[in-house]
Amino acid sequence: MQTKKTENTDKQCYFCLNNIVEIDYKDVQTLRRFVSSYMKIAPRRRSGLCANHQRKVARAVKQSRIAGLMAFVPK
């Protein structure tokens, strides 16, 4: 029986490392790092964000979609 491999990489929060306080919904280039190719918001285990910044990124991505800066679905 095979055991499930777990990634043991200690990812650091991108915003904590770079001392970024404000997450702006208009900064689409930064927000694209945290969505998949299908425009789904990446989970914490993949993005490596802390819980606080994950919530802020999710909120910013949703605002950006509503404002028309990011797509809801890929082309």
Residue 45 tokens read as 């285990």
Q: How far is CA 12 from the centre of its chain?
A: 13
Model confidence, pTM: 0.83
CATH class for the domain made up of 14-67? few secondary structures
pLDDT at 72: 95
Sketch the domain layout of the chain as residue ranges.
14-67
Give residue 5's pLDDT: 63
> What is the total residue count of the chain?
75
